[in-house]
Amino acid sequence: MLDKSTKRRTKQNALKLITHKAKQIRRKNEPWKQAISRASKLLKSKKSTLKGVAKKKKFKYPVSLEGTKGQFKPGIIPEIKISYVRGRRILGKVTSPDQVVSTIRKLFKKGAIEGWEHFFVLYLNNQNQIIGYNLHSKGGLTGTLVDARIIFSIALKSLATGIILSHNHPSGSTKPSNGDIQQTQKIKRIGEFHEIKILDHIIITKDNYYSFSEEGIL
């Protein structure tokens, strides 16, 4: 049990501590009594120590958003969401290039085969059934852009195990260009890495077609 002198010293020390704290936190024109009351409550708080009140700070990873002013709030990274809706099948099991060509021709608008280049991608399951298609790009009279990253992002999301590439030549020539061959080989190599097989690449004209698989290029 503490004696009277010890209790008095403890009380004096507490008053000194409260007074010191009140001087630190006192607002401009705030009554001294109110500052003392706030200081006392802060020091009695479980989160306080004799050295002062610890302030909680929320940790944020440093995010550089240079060049994106107005798009995102600082410190916030946007979530990427991808969705895939399985629709009705366009075609049953693929058994021949003729069957694929017949299907792809239906995807062109009237007169478009002779107008400008289109690049289509058919996505198939492990039973070689078409589960969907994508009009990858439209170009000009002599070419169109192909981005393998987009092709395989769709393939992975749709759980495709096979891909058939197809584009048209408005000129009427079915002969593949060096660019066609190189692009096909590049996509084939990427497909091997993802265990997605490139089953064929078909060049379509108004009256004819060219199959890479039939010609032994794949």
CATH number at residue 114: 3.40.140.10
* pLDDT on residue 54: 46
Number of structural domains found in the chain: 2
Asked if residue 173 and residue 105 are part of one domain, the reply reads yes
Assess if residue 130 is contained within a domain: yes
Considering 86-100, 106-120, 196-210, the range whose residues carry the highest mean pLDDT is 196-210
What mean pLDDT comes out for the span 92-102? 85
Assess if residue 83 is contained within a domain: no
Distances (CA, A) of 140 to 59, 79, 134: 51, 35, 18
CB 57 within 8 A of CB 44: no
Rounded (5°) CA angle 94-157-92: 20
- Bigger pLDDT: 69 or 34? 34
What mean pLDDT comes out for the span 187-213? 94
Domain extent for 32: 4-53
When mean pLDDT is compared across 5-14, 49-58, 131-140, 152-161, the lowest value belongs to 49-58
Assess if residue 186 is contained within a domain: yes
Asked if residue 207 and residue 102 are part of one domain, the reply reads yes
Domain end: 53, 68, 83, which one? 53
When mean pLDDT is compared across 138-142, 200-204, 213-217, the lowest value belongs to 138-142
Instruction: Classify residue 30 by its DSSP letter.
Output: -
Please, which pLDDT band fits residue 85 given cuts at 50, 70 and 90?
A: low
Asked if residue 45 and residue 117 are part of one domain, the reply reads no
Assess if residue 68 is contained within a domain: no
DSSP assignments along 57-113, one per residue: ---------TT-TTTS-TT-PPPP---------SSSB---HHHHHHHHHTTSPTTGG
- Bigger pLDDT: 51 or 42? 42
Rounded distance between C-alpha atoms, residue 120 and residue 142, angstroms: 16
Q: What percent of the chain has pLDDT over 90?
A: 32
Assess if residue 108 is contained within a domain: yes
Rounded distance between C-alpha atoms, residue 112 and residue 129, angstroms: 26
Asked if residue 102 and residue 41 are part of one domain, the reply reads no
End-to-end CA distance of the chain: 94
Asked if residue 202 and residue 102 are part of one domain, the reply reads yes
Please, which pLDDT band fits residue 7 given cuts at 50, 70 and 90?
A: low
When mean pLDDT is compared across 53-57, 126-130, 192-196, the lowest value belongs to 53-57
Residue position matching structure tokens 């085969």:
113
Report the sign of the C-alpha dihedral through residues 85, 86, 88, 93, in that order: positive
Distance of CA 217 to the CA centre of its chain: 34
CB 187 within 8 A of CB 217: no
* pLDDT on residue 23: 81
Asked if residue 207 and residue 128 are part of one domain, the reply reads yes
Assess if residue 185 is contained within a domain: yes
Asked if residue 193 and residue 119 are part of one domain, the reply reads yes
pTM of this prediction?
Answer: 0.59
Asked if residue 111 and residue 46 are part of one domain, the reply reads no
Give Rg (Cα) of the chain: 36
Assess if residue 126 is contained within a domain: yes
Residue position matching structure tokens 């993802």:
194
Residue 72 has pLDDT above 70, yes or no: no
What mean pLDDT comes out for the span 67-89? 55
When mean pLDDT is compared across 2-6, 27-31, 165-169, 211-215, the lowest value belongs to 2-6
Residue 196 has pLDDT above 70, yes or no: yes
Asked if residue 105 and residue 22 are part of one domain, the reply reads no
